[in-house]
Amino acid sequence: MERRTIFGGWALPAAFVLPQLLLTIFFFIWPAGQAIYGSLTRQDAFGLKTQFIGLENFEDLLTDPLYVESMGRTVAFCVAVTLISMGVALLLAVFADREIKGRGIYRTLLIWPYAVAPAVAAILWILLLHPQIGMISHGLKALGIAWDYKINGTQAMIVVVLASAWKQVSYNFIFFLAGLQSIPRSVIEAARMDGARGWRRFRTILFPLLAPTTFFLLVVNLVYSAFDTFGTIQAMTQGGPGKSTETLVVKVYRDGVVNLDLGGSSAQSVVLMLGIVMLTVMQFRFLGKRDKT
Amino acid sequence: MNGRTDWTAHIVLGIGVALFVLPVWLVFSASTQDAAMIGRGELSFIPGAGLDIYWKVLSEGAPGVAPVWHLLLVSFGMAMSIAIGKITISVLSAYAIAFFRFPFRLLCFWMIFFTLMLPVEVRIIPTYAVMAGFGLINTFTGLTMPLIASATATLLFRQTFLAIPDELVEAARMDGAGPLRFLRDILLPVSAANIAALFVILFVYGWNQYLWPLLVATDSRLDTIVIGIVKMIGADTSVEWNRVMATAVLAMLPPVAVVVLMQHWFVKGLTEGDK
Amino acid sequence: MKRRTLLATTAAAATLPAAAFAQAKTKIVWWHAMGGALGEEVNRIAKEFNASQAEVEVDAVFKGTYPETLTGAIAAWRAGQAPHIVQMFEVGTGSMLAAGPAVKQVWQLSQETGIEFDPKAYLGGVRGYYSLPDGRLASLPFNSSTSVMWYNKDAFEKAGLDPEKPPATWNDVIAACRALKAKAATPVPMGSAWPIWIQFEQFAAMHDLVFATKANGFEGLDTELKVNAPAFVKQMQRLLDMSKEGLFKYAGRDNAADAIFPSGEAAIGFNSSAARAAVARDAKFRWGEALLPIDPEVNAKPLNSIIGGASLWTMTAPNRTPAEYKACAQFLKFIGRADNDAVWHQHTGYVPVTLAGYELSKKQGYYEKTPGADLPIMQLTRGEVTANSRGFRLGRMAELRNIFSEELEKALQGQQGAQASLDAVVTRGNRVLREFEKATKG
């Protein structure tokens, strides 16, 4: 889409676009270039010796069983977080869309967690699940479950998934509710006339109409759980015990910042970039298609 | 519906609300209790000793961490700088791209668009190297600047601007409005709702940043409140849980207040803007 | 590289005015990782040094934990803004030695400034860690501790054990733990801070076991881990069995288990000897300090334990003047003085690093006043130092410790046995060592 009416001259627009452009170049394009260059080299921590080694870092990465494991773990983590947070949000949205008393209050009470920082969400869950002080963990221990996510990897994974999903529910809720509200009442009424009820009405009529929202959220949630959960994981488990909660972003941080393996971590950054480019392209191709229809 | 109360809806939504509110209530009540009691796991749902602890954390913080008022100040400064900075540069660049023709216009657009694909978490190590090159490590500028560039905001404003009817632009031109006056008198008022929505989103985004501040600011004077909390529980030796919880409550208040108070614009902006 | 130097120079130039104002005094910056009470001790040292002479002023800056200080120093050097002196933990020694032009080793500093440092003034176990194979000092020993076993005398009594006779061998430890458990004297019988450092690195040194070839890396970058040998498997199996039996509670990596002993949760707690101040302050019971237990079946004649802690490195930067390096040397000399060393030792619970500091403490009657305070020194100086008990000189050692912790944690969860987990440490660890070797040799 292009505008017909435009102003002339180029000095003013150039000045307007310049700050954005400079920031983009210095903080996006240059670092991205550096990451790609760095991924092809081997450097010592001090940057004294830099050798060009071609694709060796990538070779190392992809043959490293731990990296492959971490990839698998990240996928499992993202899928779990996405399913839980979207499922709960959809359920709440469907009921919040009904015409009941106090809808507005429910809505407010359900959207504020959007503002809670991932790292702070972690604190809330630590208070519930911490092996020594957690309220739920006392209950679990009373039931005879040996609850200690600082030692047990499976439990640690459950903990970070719950904390990450909890924080994302309200975002999804907002979108699902908006999606539901944009469905014409007449469609729903018509369905009711047809005698479609409850679950069937939802499955055959509402859910297909929500498909665009669902797809959009799917991508957003995958990106969220892959990247924005760093704060949650770092605050709760730092990737441990063992490596049981070390997702790809946690690994980039550990290898690059803590272990100072600069070549290796640059290669990991490049792999992540490819992943997110794929997700973005997917999203835009889909949105483009939708715009045409 | 038929005047009957929809109990199922109330129950489901009630459980949903409880799921969000109870943990926070627990944090609040923990903040008013004795650290040793929490440490032993004798946490109660009922708030205890009182609110003195808030005064305490605000003024003195915890060992190894700056006082919370200072953390709040840094977080507030950071969130505001990011929100205002992002909105300003995005409005300007979107204006330039939507209303002008100039050389390399499309190239500029695509370069900005490209940033969508590079969240901070991905470019963290090389960005750090660039900042170190500029000597911006451990500075407030270094803390905020790399987070200010944003494609989403530019795209959103471009979208809004493109939707402005041509007649309006023509009429303004007939009136003899130059590009600057047009921006001030027409575009800004028209996009006020979008700006408000974006402000909420960006304020929360800035406030909640974790990885970048952790990396770029090793000086405790630049610690944000989110970093401060994680540092407090990181010092595993003797975590003073009531302090941590009080700090957590204080960390939640500002962004939650912004979201709740500007709820209307926020929901509108979010659902209409992000797509 | 050119671009980097250019930027670095601009960055350095930006900091120039500050230096210019202090023309009269040479200003040097000291980064350290000592928080809390220890941080105050560090500030005291800087203040006393500044008061003791007129030419040099030291500014002590707290930079967070040890690993954070290491990362910070490296990043700062790359930006041309390295501090003059940085406190570096012992496991960072290998990385710093490979830092070439980024640091000025003590012997170089001595050569350039004419200020002498005598390696022989330092305790053997301390000196070995921070010097080159030929005996030249690379960095200046500062805060050194070793690990010991703390025990709860009240709990021992409750369990019918002799509170004046702490267990000396691992079999004694297990027996004591069983007694403690039977009488439920404390919630758990035994815990350990720094599990890898204490239960494996110290274990290897004291029992003269090869932890890594090439004298634990002292004699070459092509060193390889050997921790999957039977003696290590036995040690790990012991910990796993004890954990299963409920005798040992793993409470996390590094210093995560610091509180487990002083809080009274565990009756036997392994930790650094520098935990003395914290134990004295927090423990609400009678406590004792004892030598680390040994396993006579592995080696009946235990050697010295090794140190932990940190040393001081002098770093370089563009435009750094000879006067500044001289100031660094003067300050390091001041820290190494017997009276300063003795005060540091007595205030903090770290061991004295110089022989003279130790003698002075003896003369002042410190060990009569605080019985047990010289136990770590005795353990550090026991026997004749061998290639296996000199210390560690492995690259990226912090990462190696993390790998070790991860595999130990997996084993504690029952995902793998002791042998498999130590095999994994060797495989993964050697991979890191090879990477380091390649990157350093360049």
Contacts of C95 in chain A (CB under 8 A): 45, 260
Q: What pLDDT is recorded for position A266?
A: 87
Contact assignment for B238 to C4 by CB distance below 8 Å: no
Q: What pLDDT is recorded for position C11?
A: 42
Average pLDDT over residues C391-404: 88
A268/B6: higher pLDDT: A268
By CA distance, what is C99's nearest residue in A?
A46
Q: What pLDDT is recorded for position B47?
A: 81
| CATH code for the domain of B99 | 1.10.3720.10
Contacts of C67 in chain A (CB under 8 A): 258
Average pLDDT over residues C129-146: 91
* Closest to A123 in 3D by CA, of C259, B49, B24, B42: B24
- For C:237-256, CB contacts with B below 8 A are 252, 255-256
Work out how many domains chain B is built from and give that number. 2
Segment C211-249, tens digit of pLDDT: 999 999 988 899 999 999 999 999 999 999 999 999 999
Segment C140-165, tens digit of pLDDT: 999 999 999 999 999 999 999 999 99
Whether B246 shows a pLDDT value over 80: the answer reads: yes
Contact assignment for C256 to B236 by CB distance below 8 Å: yes
Least trusted range by pLDDT, from B76-90, C46-60, C77-91: C77-91
Three-state SS string across A5-74, please? CCECCCHHHHHHHHHHHHHHHHHHHHHHHHHHHHHCEEECCCCCCEEECCCHHHHHHHHCHHHHHHHHHH
Q: Which of B35, B50, B65 is the last residue of a domain?
A: B50
Average pLDDT over residues A60-64: 89
Contacts of A169 in chain B (CB under 8 A): 20
Q: Same fold for the domain at C2-145+307-364 and the one at C147-305+391-441?
A: yes
Q: Which of helix, strand or coil describes residue B100?
A: strand
Range of the domain at B128: 51-273
Mean pLDDT of chain C: 88
Q: Give chain A's domains with CATH numbers.
A: 50-292 (1.10.3720.10)
B163 shares a domain with B91: yes
Q: How many CA atoms lie within 13 A of B112 on its CB side?
A: 29
B99 shares a domain with B63: yes
Measure in Å the smallest separation between the Cα of A145 and chain B Cα atoms.
17
Q: What pLDDT is recorded for position A5?
A: 60
Residue C272 contacts B where some CB pair is shorter than 8 Å: no
- Facing A115 at nearest CB: one of B41, B43, B258: B258
Contacts of B263 in chain A (CB under 8 A): 108, 111
Contact assignment for B96 to A99 by CB distance below 8 Å: no
Whether C60 shows a pLDDT value over 60: the answer reads: yes
Average pLDDT over residues B127-151: 83
Residue A68 contacts C where some CB pair is shorter than 8 Å: no
Q: What pLDDT is recorded for position C7?
A: 42
- For C:59-98, CB contacts with A below 8 A are 67, 71, 74, 77-78, 95, 98
Residue C35 contacts B where some CB pair is shorter than 8 Å: yes
Mutate to test the interface with B, among C15, C38, C81 (most CBs of B within 10 A): C81
Average pLDDT over residues C268-287: 87
Q: What pLDDT is recorded for position C95?
A: 85
Contacts of A120 in chain B (CB under 8 A): 208, 226, 229, 248, 251-252
Contact assignment for A42 to C439 by CB distance below 8 Å: yes
Measure in Å the smallest separation between the Cα of C438 and chain A Cα atoms.
8
Segment B149-206, tens digit of pLDDT: 777 788 888 888 888 888 888 888 788 778 888 888 888 888 888 888 889 989 999 9
Least trusted range by pLDDT, from B12-21, B40-49, B239-248, C37-46: B40-49
Measure in Å the smallest separation between the Cα of A76 and chain C Cα atoms.
20
Q: Could you tell me if the ipTM is greater than 0.85?
A: no
B186 shares a domain with B130: yes
B75 shares a domain with B163: yes
Residue C11 contacts B where some CB pair is shorter than 8 Å: yes
Whether A189 shows a pLDDT value over 80: the answer reads: no
Distance (Å, whole) CA A130 – CA B13: 27
Whether A66 shows a pLDDT value over 90: the answer reads: no
Whether C254 shows a pLDDT value over 90: the answer reads: no
Average pLDDT over residues C247-267: 86
Three-state SS string across chain C, please? CHHHHHHHHHHHHHCHHHHHHCCCCEEEEEEECCCHHHHHHHHHHHHHHHHHCCCEEEEEEECCCHHHHHHHHHHHHHCCCCCCEEEEEHHHHHHHHCCHHHEECHHHHHHHHCCCCCHHHECHHHHHHCECCCCCECCEEEEEECEEEEEEHHHHHHCCCCCCCCCCEHHHHHHHHHHHHHCCCCCEEEEECCHHHHHHHHHHHHCCCCCEHHHHCCCCCCCCECCCCHHHHHHHHHHHHHHHCCCEECCCCHHHHHHHCCCCCEEEEEEEHHHHHHHHHHCCCCEEEECCCECCCCCCCCCCCCCEEEEEEEECCCCCCHHHHHHHHHHHHHHCCHHHHHHHHHHHCCECCEHHHHHHHHHCCHHHHCCCCCHHHHHHCCCCCCCCCCCCCCCCHHHHHHHHHHHHHHHHCCCCCHHHHHHHHHHHHHHHHHHHHHHHHC
- Counting as contact any 3 or more CB pairs under 8 A, the partners of A are B, C
Distance (Å, whole) CA C72 – CA C65: 10
Mean pLDDT of chain A: 85
B157 shares a domain with B201: yes
Q: Parallel, antiparallel, or unpaired for β C147-152 and C266-272?
A: antiparallel
Q: What pLDDT is recorded for position C198?
A: 96
Segment A121-143, tens digit of pLDDT: 888 888 888 877 788 888 888 88
Whether C135 shows a pLDDT value over 60: the answer reads: yes
Q: What pLDDT is recorded for position C79?
A: 72
Segment B66-115, tens digit of pLDDT: 788 999 999 999 999 999 999 999 999 988 888 888 778 888 888 887 77
Q: What pLDDT is recorded for position C5?
A: 43
Whether A27 shows a pLDDT value over 70: the answer reads: yes
- Facing B237 at nearest CB: one of C3, C78, C258: C258
CATH topology of domain C2-145+307-364: D-Maltodextrin-Binding Protein; domain 2 (3.40.190)
Q: How confident is the model at residue B61 (pLDDT cuts 50, 70, 90)?
A: low
- Facing B64 at nearest CB: one of C11, C35, C81: C35
Whether A197 shows a pLDDT value over 70: the answer reads: no
- For C:384-413, CB contacts with A below 8 A are 396, 398-399, 402, 405-407, 409-410, 412-413
Q: How confident is the model at residue C12 (pLDDT cuts 50, 70, 90)?
A: very low
Q: What pLDDT is recorded for position A12?
A: 86
Contacts of C1 in chain A (CB under 8 A): 50
Measure in Å the smallest separation between the Cα of A216 and chain B Cα atoms.
8
Contact assignment for C75 to B238 by CB distance below 8 Å: no
Q: How confident is the model at residue A43 (pLDDT cuts 50, 70, 90)?
A: confident
- Facing A46 at nearest CB: one of C99, C251, C435: C99
B40 shares a domain with B67: no
Least trusted range by pLDDT, from A9-13, C107-111, C373-377, C431-435: A9-13
Domains in chain C: boundaries: 2-145+307-364, 147-305+391-441
B80 shares a domain with B140: yes
Average pLDDT over residues A14-31: 87
Q: How confident is the model at residue C396 (pLDDT cuts 50, 70, 90)?
A: confident
B181 shares a domain with B112: yes
CATH architecture for the domain at C147-305+391-441:
3-Layer(aba) Sandwich (3.40)
Least trusted range by pLDDT, from B50-64, C292-306, C398-412: B50-64
Q: What is the pTM (predicted TM-score) of this model? A: 0.81
